[in-house]
Amino acid sequence: MDNARKEWLLNTAIALALFAVPLWALLADEPFIITTATRIAILAIAAVGLNIALGLGGMVSFGHALYLGIGGYVAGIAAHHAFSGTTVLGLPGTNQMLPIWAIAMILSGTIAGIVGALSIRTSGIFFIMITLAFAQMGFFFTLSWPAYGGEDGLPIFVRNQFPGLNTARPWEFFLLSYGVLLAALAIFAMLRAARFGAALMAIRQNPDRAAAVGISPFGIKLVAFILSGMITGLAGAMMADLTRFVSPAMMAWTMSGELIVIIILGGVGRLFGPVAGAAILVCFEVLFGGLTEHWKLWLGLVLLAVVLFARGGLIGLLAGRAQHG
C-alpha cells in the first residue's frame, strides 16, 4: 500500500473517531466528552490555519494566538453589546455566529496582512520574533482595555446562535464545530493541490529556484499568511463561544506555542496533522491533568520524542513521508 493511500485511510479513521466518540457520549449522556471533542475540533481549526503558514509555507509564526484572540474578542464584544443593547463604533452588537465569523475573519486577515507585510522578508529567528512581538502587543492591549474586562476577561453569558441549531446543546455545537473543521480541512487540501500550493511549497523548499522560474516569493507567502490568520481567527470566535469567555490569555505566547506543538505532534504540513495533534494535546490534558498538575512535563517528553524520532509527527509515523506526486 503506498503512503498516499495509507494517509487517506488514516485521515478517514481520525475523522470518523472524532465523530463517533462524541456520538457515543451523546447516547451515554456524557456531555463533558462532547465538549472535549468540540475543543479538539476548534483547536484543530486554529492549527489548520497555522498549518497553511507553517506547514505549507515554512513560516514559523510564533504569534498565531493573536488571530485566535482577535476572533475571540470579536465574538465576545459582539455578544456583550447584543446582551446590553448598546452599540460599538455605531453598530449594534449581534449574537449571530455568521456575521461574527465574517468580522472575525476580515479583522484577523487584515491584521495578518500587516504583520505578514512587515515580517515575511525576514526569516528564521527574526520572523519568529516579529510575529511574537505583534501577538504580545495584542496581549497587552487587551490586558489594559477596561471596557472589555481588561485582565479579568469578558464573559459571553449566552452562547451565540447559528441558524437552525440550538448551540446551547453540546451535541449541536459539536456538529457545527465538526462541520467547520471539515470545511477548513477541505480548503487546506484544495489550496495545497492548486497552483497556489505548488508555488507556496516550492518557495518553502527553495525560494531562489521559485524566483528563478518567475514566482515572486513575497506575494505568495503574504497571501498564505493572510489566509492562515483568517482561519485561525475563525477558530478564535468559536473558541470564545465554546468557553463562553474571552480573556487576554487567548493571545498569550504560550497559546501560540501550543498551536505549534499541535502541528509538530500531528505532522507538519500534513492535512490531518492539526487534528491528530489537537487530539493528542487535549487527551493528554484531560487524562493526565486530573492525575498530576505536571502533565505538561509528560507532554514535553512526548514532544521531545516526536522531534527526535518521529519528525513527521503522528501522521508521518503511521503513514510515512508525504508525497507530492
Partner 1 sequence: MAETVLELRGLSKAFGALKATDNVSLTLKKGEIHALIGPNGAGKSTLMRLVSGKLTPDAGEVWLGGAEITGLSVARRARAGLGRSFQVSSLIPDYSALRNVMLALQARQGHSYRFLMPVMRDRALRESARAILERVGLGPRASVEAAVLSHGERRLLEIAVALALAPRCFLLDEPMAGLGSEGTARLVSFLRELKQEAPILLIEHDMDAVFQLADRISVLVYGRIIASGSTAEIRADPQVRAVYLGEETTA
User: What's the number of CA atoms in the CB half-sphere (13 Å) around residue 285?
Assistant: 12
238 binds partner 1 (CB under 8 A): no
At closest approach, how far in Å is the CB of 123 from partner 1?
Answer: 16
The CA distance from 168 to 48, in Å, is 25
Nearer to partner 1, 69 or 207 (CB): 207
| Sole binder of partner 1 in the list 15, 60, 215, 317 (CB under 8 A) | 215
| Sole binder of partner 1 in the list 85, 124, 214, 290 (CB under 8 A) | 214
The CA distance from 47 to 68, in Å, is 10
Options 100-108, 166-174, 189-197, 283-291: segment touching partner 1 (CB under 8 A): 189-197
154 binds partner 1 (CB under 8 A): no
| Sole binder of partner 1 in the list 109, 170, 197, 248 (CB under 8 A) | 197
| Sole binder of partner 1 in the list 210, 251, 262, 264 (CB under 8 A) | 210
Options 72-80, 126-134, 197-205, 299-307: segment touching partner 1 (CB under 8 A): 197-205
DSSP code string of 261-312: HHHHHH-TT-TTHHHHHHHHHHHHHHHHHTT-TTHHHHHHHHHHHHHHH-TT
From 170, 190, 171, select the one nearest 182 (Cα to Cα).
Answer: 190
205 binds partner 1 (CB under 8 A): yes
4 binds partner 1 (CB under 8 A): no
| Sole binder of partner 1 in the list 87, 206, 254, 292 (CB under 8 A) | 206
Nearer to partner 1, 52 or 180 (CB): 52
For residue 55, what is the DSSP state? I
148 binds partner 1 (CB under 8 A): no
Nearer to partner 1, 20 or 194 (CB): 194
State the sign of the Cα–Cα–Cα–Cα dihedral 18, 272, 249, 67.
Answer: negative
Residue 227 buriedness (CB in 10 A; 0-12 / 13-18 / 19+): buried
State the sign of the Cα–Cα–Cα–Cα dihedral 58, 264, 175, 79.
Answer: negative
Options 85-93, 129-137, 185-193, 289-297: segment touching partner 1 (CB under 8 A): 185-193
Options 198-206, 239-247, 259-267, 306-314: segment touching partner 1 (CB under 8 A): 198-206
CA gyration radius for the chain? 19
Nearer to partner 1, 215 or 318 (CB): 215
Options 10-18, 209-217, 232-240, 301-309: segment touching partner 1 (CB under 8 A): 209-217
Please write down the long-range contacts of 29-37, taking CB distance under 8 Å and 24 or more positions apart. Answer: 31/170, 34/170, 34/171, 34/174, 35/170, 35/174, 35/242, 36/282, 36/286, 37/174
φ and ψ at 136, to 5 degrees?
A: -65, -35
| Sole binder of partner 1 in the list 42, 104, 128, 220 (CB under 8 A) | 220
| Sole binder of partner 1 in the list 85, 163, 164, 325 (CB under 8 A) | 325
The CA distance from 234 to 242, in Å, is 13
| Sole binder of partner 1 in the list 3, 166, 216, 254 (CB under 8 A) | 216
φ and ψ at 246, to 5 degrees?
A: -125, 145
Nearer to partner 1, 29 or 208 (CB): 208
The CA distance from 315 to 321, in Å, is 9
Interaction site with partner 1 (CB under 8 A): 190-191, 193-199, 201-202, 205-206, 208-217, 219-220, 223, 322, 324-325
